[in-house]
Amino acid sequence: MENQTVIIEDEKSNPPKKYTIEQFSKSVAMWGGSFSHDEKKVQFNTNLSGIYNVHELDIESGEITQLSHSKDKAIYSRGYFGKENHLLFEGDVGGNELFHIYAQFNDADKTIKDLTPFDKARCVFMGRAFDRKSFFYGSNQRNPYYTDLYEMDFETLTPKLLFQNEEGEYNDFLVSCNKRYIAMTKMRTREDHDQYLWDTQTQKMIQLSPEERDEDIAYHTVAFSNDDTYYYYLSNQGSEFHYLERLHIENGTREKVVTEPWGIDYAEPSHSFKYLSYNINWDGKTVNKILDFDTKTAIKITPPDNGNIVSVHFSKSDKWMVYYTSSSRHPRNMYLYNFETQESKLILEGLNSAIDANDLVEATVVRYPSFDGLEIPAIFYKPKVASPDNKVPAMLWIHGGPGGQSRQFYNPMIQCLVNQGYAILAVNNRGSSGYGKTFFKLDERKHGNHDLDDCVYGKNFLNDCGFIDMTRVGIMGGSYGGYMTLAALTFRPDAFKLGVDIFGVANWVRTLSQTPPWWKAYSKALHARMGHPEKDLEYLRSISPLFHTNKITKPLMVLQGANDPRVLKVESDEIVEGVKANGIPVEYVLFEDEGHGWTKKENEIEANSRILAFLDTYLK
């Protein structure tokens, strides 16, 4: 992978128009596509109403109707059920991640029933049965630490236990078409999984992964063939990247179905297995391919907006498909595609019509050497107004995780900051996903140190650009990126002018001790990567900013959701209190009705407005 440090020239010479945060926030986010049984309507999720609600497209008329009308909690469609086109949806309360599954009946009153009314339990939708007569969900209602697998038929709406997860470490459940087999994985570490098939007839667990191996292997369930002859899954055995493989269940033979130069991170066949859609994480960009399953030939689809297809949803008959396009300077557009006529129809545009996409900036993939010579990939956004004669301030953006990745997706906050004259370097430090399993493992037990230096060395790239004012460089990020922001201000106090911490970890001892109970399957892997809160107490204290707040000397902004189950509010409370004791400017923005992210547009507007004002005060 060769370094790419040449910055693409601006596409238009005129100064770009500046837009407000409110204008950026009027753009629409959307995803999903579930067809009714007669394929006359499609459900999808969008925040058109200011919070995520379920909307419906009438295919013939093109009319869009809002089906759910929540004003205080995000609602996510899980499709239709019954010939009456009842609505199945999922939602939590204020971002607490204690999801319940609901039915909204298509009667005169639009009656809503909680199908999983279990106090303090988390119930997560896990797909429909092949015959569409029932659905599956995971729930920790029996034991808060163990996620069991249930089936609920649409006729009686009565749950039935399918698999009791006694060890609590199985996850990624997938039920076969005839319901004989249940595929699942178990994490050894974040990078190393075991894979199993549970035979419901013989009540035996069959391990599919090699028990003894000299490499890490990560698996992800995909699908069973319609006759249950084959089981399809993603694997990176013998490879840096994931590929699609299938197992012949009866004789145990395996064969690779699709391989790519970069990793496949999602794959889904159509209901009849006529088509296969899969996404490739191609150097931080999503590249979708649709194949004829039998011939493996590509189905050529050219979106009218010439955008990049990032998501696909097939109808049961394979006549229709909903797909979404996007780019780094354009949010998702929704299209309906007819396989018979090979025509695409635009359903909904994501970008606010008041914004000209040509005023926004296309992301550029760049690479630079870190302290030890390791090549670090990053996504760079150059303001159109930047030049050697007009040097601009810059912010490093650090993704969540650990193990996340900044991608070439549309990010309204980043585009807003760039539009206001801030350069953004989104660093994919060592330990980021998407660049192979060797790169992914490089930050183990080196957090707040080697991964942090990868970020600091990004300043060398910025300096070489020639249009960055190096006296005005800050750092920001959310979740793990929030931790990296705090770590930068704590352990590299002279590197950055300021920091913006968005629900970031301040105390790893507490965070690793108080993970949500439903993370049992994930906790062991997280401890292997980060450290154990008891066995590695001193190490975790040494990398936790909360115990070293006296070293923070630069202005800090902290944003937090009060209901966050992953990074508890107390993390932000205490870091703010500690930094204030230094006499350093600290701004604290708390959202009482949010969790680990913003689901309401009004909160997104306030958060981004406060961030921009903070940067304008201390950086610009």
Phi/psi class of residue 395: alpha, beta or left (left: φ > 0; alpha: ψ in -120 to 50)? beta
DSSP code, position 377: E
Q: Dihedral of the CA atoms 399, 402, 408, 410 (nearest 10)?
A: -50
| CA–CA separation, 104 and 87 (whole Å) | 5
| CA–CA separation, 360 and 87 (whole Å) | 38
Confidence class of residue 13 from pLDDT cuts 50, 70 and 90?
low
Confidence class of residue 235 from pLDDT cuts 50, 70 and 90?
very high
pLDDT at 2: 43
pLDDT at 189: 87
H-type alpha helices, 129-184: none
Give me the mean pLDDT over the 188-198 stretch. Answer: 94
pLDDT at 567: 95
Q: How far is CA 44 from the centre of its chain?
A: 18
Confidence class of residue 9 from pLDDT cuts 50, 70 and 90?
very low
Give me the mean pLDDT over the 287-296 stretch. Answer: 93
561-603 residue pLDDT tens: 999 999 999 999 999 999 999 999 999 999 999 999 999 999 9
| CA–CA separation, 474 and 394 (whole Å) | 6
Residue (of 55, 80, 54) closest to 65 by Cα position: 55
Give me the mean pLDDT over the 207-221 stretch. Answer: 96
- Kindly state the tokens that stand for 538: 């001193």
| CA–CA separation, 300 and 468 (whole Å) | 42
With 0-12 CB in 10 A as exposed, 13-18 as middle and 19+ as buried, what is 479? buried
Q: Is the pLDDT at 60 greater than 70, yes or no?
A: yes
pLDDT at 181: 98
What domains can you pick out in the chain, each with its CATH number? Answer: 361-618 (3.40.50.1820)
Strand partners, 291: 276, 298
Regarding beta strands 468-478 and 392-398, do their DSSP bridges make them parallel or antiparallel, or are they unpaired?
parallel
| CA–CA separation, 283 and 434 (whole Å) | 7
Contact 94, 593 (CB under 8 A): yes
pLDDT at 568: 95
Residue (of 476, 472, 464, 500) closest to 393 by Cα position: 472
pLDDT at 6: 44
Task: Please give the single-letter amino acid code of residue 477.
Answer: G
- Kindly state the tokens that stand for 8: 């693409």
Residues 6+ apart with CB under 8 A from 569: 560, 561, 562, 590
pLDDT at 571: 96
Q: Is the pLDDT at 8 greater than 50, yes or no?
A: no
Q: Is the pLDDT at 99 greater than 80, yes or no?
A: yes
pTM metric for this prediction = 0.95
Give me the mean pLDDT over the 114-140 stretch. Answer: 96
384-435 residue pLDDT tens: 999 999 999 999 999 998 999 999 999 999 999 999 999 999 999 999 999 9
Phi and psi at residue 428, in whole multiples of 5°?
Answer: -105, 80
Q: How far is CA 229 from the centre of its chain?
A: 32
Angle at 191 between CA 198 and CA 100, to 5 degrees: 55
Give percent of the chain with pLDDT exceeding 90: 91
pLDDT at 190: 86
Give me the mean pLDDT over the 350-369 stretch. Answer: 97
Give percent of the chain with pLDDT exceeding 70: 98
Q: Across 418-502, where does the E strand assignment appear?
A: 423-427, 468-478, 499-502
Confidence class of residue 3 from pLDDT cuts 50, 70 and 90?
very low
Q: How many distinct helices (H) and strands (E) make up the chain?
A: 11, 35
Phi and psi at residue 572, in whole multiples of 5°?
Answer: -75, -40
- Name the average pLDDT for the chain: 95
Q: Is the pLDDT at 30 greater than 60, yes or no?
A: yes
Confidence class of residue 14 from pLDDT cuts 50, 70 and 90?
confident
H-type alpha helices, 344-445: 412-419, 437-440
144-159 residue pLDDT tens: 999 999 999 999 999 9
Q: Is the pLDDT at 5 greater than 70, yes or no?
A: no
pLDDT at 272: 95
pLDDT at 620: 85
Give me the mean pLDDT over the 350-365 stretch. Answer: 97
Query: What is the sign, positive or negative, of the torsion defined by CA atoms of 475, 480, 486, 490?
Result: negative
